[in-house]
Amino acid sequence: MSQGIAEVNNINIWWEDFGNTSDPSVILIMGANANSMVWTQEFIQPFVDAGYHVVRFDNRDVGKSTYFGNESFYRKLVRIFVPTFLVKFVVKSIFQAIIDEDGYIQETEINNSNYTLDDMAADTVHLMNHLDIDRAHIIGASMGGMISQLLALDYPERVISITPIMSSPGIVDSALSNMSPNMIKGIEESAILDAKGKYKDSVVRTYRELSGSRFPFNEERFRERMETVFEHGHNPFCQHGDATGSSPNRKDRLGDIDLPTLIVHGSEDPIFGLDHGMFLYEGIPNAEKFIMDGVGHEIPEELVYDITKRILEHLKKTDAIA
């Protein structure tokens, strides 16, 4: 195992790898606002044991990679001086302005984002160059699954296969389900906690809503696992949401993906409902699917064995064809 900082694409990207570098590579791309430590050793080890070289890395704006989002002077004043009751009033007013009467987020235009998913896909390719990886299997969670689609579309010569987990062709699409009302309420309450500097409580509040009914949220266990993530570097001002919102929807390009694809999705995902995963499955030629009943926007530790086993079947079949 080795790790380091790659100075690529005009930023710093922190990375860590596992296994033999001469083995086929698997690159793990995490979702929005989360660093690479969310990819647990329990998830990584089955791939190493099966003969793969695994790389996890911090996307820009999280972990130990270059930050773009930082606490503004205004937000610092709010955190220190504005009473909580007033913060609640302001946050609720903002949410009421952007959420329609049915509890769904309305389409909004994000201008002048500091970076897009295209930039983040380029980060991945530059990191591969730095690590002398010619081609790799790409496994991406949520936003990472969106980046995996862009890699398959714009850098197909660098990709062996993709596995988008709990992902989508694009956000705020009227043809697809939006976030559940409970998820929106959780994000609103999380925003209030963030505004007052209660960052760990904010993350707990969000993840509580991400869990499906099959494996109820265990706050004590989650807080234990969260310590490693926070110690590695948590950026509460991360701009991944802006990057995702300002990036074009890929639904009209899915048919151009000509690489082995496995869609992994939970049936109770409160952010990207199952129809998002099925749209990817139906839109990408010859894609396969693995649907997890009763699972939300999560990779439950209780299902890590089943998930990695199914992905490994996908990778092995791909390797046999290649």
d(CA 166, CA 269): 7
Write the CB contacts of 302 (distance below 8 Å, at least 6 apart in sequence). Answer: 215
| Contact between 273 and 195 (Cβ < 8 Å) | no
The beta-strand segments (E) located in 102-173 are 136-141, 159-165
| Contact between 168 and 248 (Cβ < 8 Å) | no
d(CA 149, CA 144): 9
Per-residue pLDDT tens digits for 104-151: 666 555 667 899 999 999 999 999 999 999 999 999 999 999 999 999
d(CA 58, CA 159): 19
| Contact between 39 and 28 (Cβ < 8 Å) | yes
Specify the DSSP element, H or E, that contains 222: helix 219-233
- Confidence grade of residue 72 (pLDDT, cut at 50, 70, 90): confident
The residues facing 26 across adjacent strands are: 54, 137
Domain regions of the chain by residue span: 2-66+113-177+239-321, 73-111+179-233
By mean pLDDT, which of 26-40, 174-188, 204-218, 281-295 is the weakest?
Answer: 174-188
pTM: 0.94
Which class is 2-66+113-177+239-321 in CATH? alpha beta
d(CA 314, CA 311): 5
